Homo-oligomer: A and B are copies of this chain.
Amino acid sequence: MTSSRSTRRDALRNRDAILDAAARCLSDDPGASMSDIAKAAGVVRVTIYGHFASREELVEAVLIRTIDRSEAELAELDLEGDPVAALDRLVRRSWRIVDTFHRLLGAAEEALSNERIMAHHAEPMARVQALIERGQREGSMRRDLSAEWLTTCFSALLHSAAAELRAGRLAEADADRVVATTVVSLLTAPAG
């Protein structure tokens, strides 16, 4: 098992290229084939099997990697203080990431049956929900809808914005403002 020599640099580079390519391919087509991914990585298909035993394993690796990166990106974000301001920061910072992740999850659902992965997905959303619950307790966010449902809306709106951006129906320059305005106003809307 443990060989005398250490892993070669080009092998590590390839492994990385494959993960990058897979992330790109799978997020814009959940059904992307191993050949597609290999081509995008500048590698021959068989090479992928030198690093990942199966498509399933590759998808899982990509997903975990993306989760870790997202976590890192969002971890440094301050969610303390005024909940509405925190929400605004959160939205502006995370909506692109959330979307990539969401699309990747689409690919994973077809290829994976791993609850551990789903647990990983639940965690960041739980953080959003906690923020919303705090906003509700402190009176700056609406109480007529459940925090759970509002969290779902949060996610849906971020995802829609990303889709509109991709489709060219939303201008890059407007995007941040639009998505933040939308989410914040929905969560702070009057009880009617």
Interface residues of A (CB under 8 A from B): 31, 110, 142, 144-145, 148-149, 152-153, 155-157, 159-160, 164, 169-170, 178, 181-182, 184-186, 189-190, 192
Could you tell me the distance in whole angstroms from the C-beta of A129 to the nearest C-beta in chain B?
A: 12
When all copies of this chain in the complex are counted, the total is 2
Give Cα distance in the complex from A182 to B182, angstroms: 12
Chain B neighbourhood of A144, CB < 8 A: 181
If A156-B159, A164-B149 touch, whether A192 touches B182 (CB-CB below 8 Å) is no
If A148-B169, A169-B148, A189-B189 touch, whether A182 touches B153 (CB-CB below 8 Å) is yes
Could you tell me the distance in whole angstroms from the C-beta of A82 to the nearest C-beta in chain B?
A: 15
Give Cα distance in the complex from A163 to B145, angstroms: 17
Q: Is the CB of B156 within 8 A of A160?
A: yes
If A156-B157, A169-B148 touch, whether A185 touches B192 (CB-CB below 8 Å) is yes
Q: Name the residue on B nearest A185 (C-beta).
A: B189
Give Cα distance in the complex from A178 to B142, angstroms: 13
Q: Is the CB of B164 within 8 A of A160?
A: no
Chain B neighbourhood of A182, CB < 8 A: 145, 149, 153, 186
The A interface is mostly helix, strand or loop, or mixed, namely helix
| Additional A-B contact list (9), CB under 8 Å, known A145-B181, A152-B169 | A31-B110, A145-B178, A148-B169, A149-B164, A149-B178, A153-B157, A156-B159, A156-B160, A189-B189
Chain B neighbourhood of A149, CB < 8 A: 164, 170, 178, 182
Chain B neighbourhood of A184, CB < 8 A: 192
A-B contact pairs, 6 of them (CB 8 A): A142-B185, A153-B160, A155-B160, A156-B156, A156-B160, A186-B186
Chain B neighbourhood of A142, CB < 8 A: 185
Could you tell me the distance in whole angstroms from the C-beta of A27 to the nearest C-beta in chain B?
A: 16
Give Cα distance in the complex from A156 to B192, angstroms: 22
